[in-house]
Chains A and B, each alone.
Chain A
Amino acid sequence: MSATGHAPWAGGPPADEPGERGTTTVATATTAPASHVFGAFAYLTARSMANRVRLQLRRARNPRYAIAILLGAAYFYFVLFRQTRPANAPALLFGTGADIILSLGIVSLVVRWWLFGGDQAALAFSPAEVQFLFPAPVTRAGLVHFKLLRSQLVVLLNTIVWMALLRRGNASLPILLRALSFWVLFSTLTLHRLGASLARSSASEHGVAGARRSALPMTIVGAVALTVIVTLVRALPALKAALPEGHFIAVLKQALLQPLPAAVLLPFRAVLRPGLAATVSEWSHTFWPAALIAVAHYLWVVRTNTAFEEAAVEASARRAARVAALRQGRGWAAAAAAGAPGGKPVARSWFPLRPTGEPAVAILWKNVLAVTRTLRWATLAVLVASVGILVVVVSLQASGPRAGTLLGTIAGVWGALTVFTGPLWIRNDLRQDLPKLALLRSYPLRGARVVAAQVASSTIVLTAIQYVLMVVAYLALMEADDAPLTAGGRTFALVLLVLALPVLNAASLTVQNGLALLFPGWVRIGVGSRAGGVEAMGQNLLTTVFGVVSIGVLLVVPGATAAGTYLALRAHIGDSATFVALLVCLAGMLGEIALMIRWLGGVFERTDPVSTGEM
């Protein structure tokens, strides 16, 4: 024990450390030896991980976190170790040439990293890392190594998960060799992602010179993508014909094994092949090319460090802004604001707000405005263009469906999906604002009005998206003679959906907001409160199940009333009874929503900011 009665910290400074015992000396600034740097990085990584586990275990004393952890653990156990699918399913991957198919997945990842970017996470350091590591006597290569060391945690976790998933592959390859292969594969992918981020950052930082340096890899990646797309488009008729006969994979393989695509896909297959090898002999032939590619990637990344510091600081600043924004419930706009040097032009406020009137409208205004300012127009444009290309390409095939039918079907299916997934995606409500509960509570507003405005915010956005999709589907199917439902039926369905969707969305979003308010520990209300791994999986399961069950319960009374109405009126007014029954059901749901919002308003007024993790 020290003189002050405190235990000295483990592995503390040596006795001759400058600055000990009250002496103040100025150390000569030199670059730390690599072993010291690695030791510090390893210590930081190991302790951070251990403390995170310790924190999660401590949180498990709270029942709501304990339940989430147990559920998450059960999920992983059943998925990884209690698989009910046939034991030979993974065997389809081993020694069967599946690498040519799987290489398409890697190509899509690489294309995304190079052409579309959006992967600044590969470079980002936490604010604490920036504060401690960047001014420290550590070389840029040292910082790159730190990133690589950190990424190994994810690589090793991925390797373990895939080994568990593929353990019943009936292959004779020893498990350690397969694990080594998957480690090489994931390490290569991680290195490539980091390298691509560096190159893209360099291009944006260094203008023409940077663009010139990145031109070659971008051209190569573009050429690979083009080759694969052209190959697949040409093979579409054959693939379509093979689908009902169960030869789809064989035909796809055949198409990809033509000389040009085969040559283009060779390096992508090379990193996959040792992991898919069935025998030691096959593995020994395929491992070394994969290892060489990994080593080449390592050298490439370590040498491509010219833009690292600037790019990493920028990426870190963006991440810090994003984290801070989410922790404080400021939404996703922080990244946009922090990401643009000098500031991006701010989208105009298109939704006028008068200074007087219902105060809660201000919250609605704020939340809807946030969506328009955080919408990624480029992503949306890519999405629309992709659908457009798909529709054109498929409709050009002689035996393919008509463009209108395809477009209408895509929009309709997409719209239907948003009924279930939309309330989880669209979060411009209390789930975003809850970390700022103290601020919301200081406003002169009743809790019920705050909750209503928050629910209305995401309901409006989600419903608007669905309306657009429904109208696109309706118009696209207008002239289609091969579309489901008659023209009259489609019009009737459109009217029903126009009436029902806002109510259904409001009900789902009220439940989601209620979950956030009642169980903030179970809902993602900001990065700071977001647990990782097992606990997060358990939380997602809980909220999803709870949300679905709640909607089911909410539908019971209105549904039963609507059914009774339909049965009572059918004999008198015919098919119009359906419409009346729907109105009765919607009115019942609106009543339930109003009651829920009133109750949640009371909860809002009683909730202590401490329970949401704000204080």
Chain B
Amino acid sequence: MIDVSDLTKLYGDFTAVDGLSFHVAPGEVLGLVGPNGAGKTTTLRSVAGIIVPTRGRIRVAGFDLAEHPIDAKRALAFIPDEPQLFEHLTVQEHLKFVGRLYGVADAAERAGPLLEEVELWEKRGALPGELSRGMRQKLAIACGLLHRPAALLLDEPLTGLDPVGIRRMKATIAARARGGAAVILSSHLLHLVEELCTRLLVIQRGRAVAYGAIGDIVAERPHLAGRALEDVFLDLTGSAVEPR
């Protein structure tokens, strides 16, 4: 569903992403983890068609992103860590707007249940300026889910959500994966990654340092056996620190 090969992104002399290759099958949730500045967001934005890679090939739902960007984008949804909303559109109008962009004929029918799912039905007439950070995040998620994306790219999706919201969001992500969506989940919340992801891609300085099922990654490193994912992550990225 999502095929990435040799993805490279340069900013002048700086290499943000360096030859990443990975695949996410339908129903699979890939955890994208790495330290700050590792290139996670650049990777997600490249896959979302927001930035043009310097090198490499990306295919989404069978469409080459460079050759058929519109078809590829129609199949995916990107939900950024900082919700991007239009301040003069109400909650419901955001869904109407996105529905037209993606040509969702039954947008009006889908909007209600979706707003119920993210607990925004009561706020359907509110402008984003009247919403809390978590509600804004929920609205961005609802907008991303309206057109039933085959590929879902989530960048720190739980930021700002309350415990109930977090539980619901985890259920939503899992449900989309069960429904056949290919999901890439970038997060620093390793327990979330451990809970939801079927496979893991750990990157550092733009390069993959580990890729595969969590069990396989640990199996390749016997000294990490029985350790928590946090320890695995710190070991893989060489960021282990001694407690002071």
Q: What is A's interface to B at a CB cutoff of 8 Å?
A: 321, 325, 328, 330-331, 333-334, 336-338, 343, 346, 349, 353-357, 359, 361-363, 365-366, 369-370, 373-374, 436-439, 441-446, 605-606, 608-610, 615
Contacts and interface: CB of A to CB of B under 8 A. Distances in A.
Interface in B78-113: 78, 80, 84-90, 93, 96-108
A362 B100 contact: yes
Interface string B22-44: 00000000000000000001000
A330 to B, nearest CB: 4
Chain A contact residues: over half helix, strand or loop, or mixed?
Answer: helix
Contacts of A328: 84-85
A185 to B, nearest CB: 38
Nearest to B144: A442
B125 interface: yes
23 contacts: A325-B87, A328-B84, A336-B129, A337-B128, A353-B100, A355-B96, A355-B99, A355-B100, A355-B103, A355-B105, A355-B106, A356-B105, A359-B101, A362-B100, A363-B101, A369-B89, A370-B86, A436-B84, A438-B45, A444-B71, A608-B52, A609-B50, A609-B51
A439 B107 CA distance: 20
Contact of A438 (B50, B70, B96): B50
A357 B105 CA distance: 9
Interface of B: 11, 41, 45, 48-52, 69-71, 73-74, 78, 80, 84-90, 93, 96-108, 125-130
Nearest to A345: B125
B52 A606 contact: yes
Contact of B88 (A331, A357, A437, A444): A331
Q: For B48, B50, B87, B96, which residue has the most chain A Cβ atoms within 10 angstroms?
A: B87
Contacts of A334: 87, 129
Contacts of B98: 362
Given A343-B130, A362-B97, A366-B86, A355 B50 contact: no
B107 A321 contact: no
B97 A353 contact: yes
A606 B69 CA distance: 12
A442 B70 contact: no
Contacts of A349: 93
Nearest to B99: A355
A183 to B, nearest CB: 39
A238 B107 CA distance: 67
A373 B93 CA distance: 13
A333 B127 contact: yes
B103 A359 contact: yes
Contacts of A369: 88-89, 93
A443 B102 CA distance: 8
Contacts of A362: 97-98, 100-101
A608 B51 contact: yes
Nearest to B72: A444
A366 B127 contact: no
Given A343-B126, A366-B86, A442 B103 contact: no
A373 B127 CA distance: 11
A156 to B, nearest CB: 35
Nearest to B125: A346
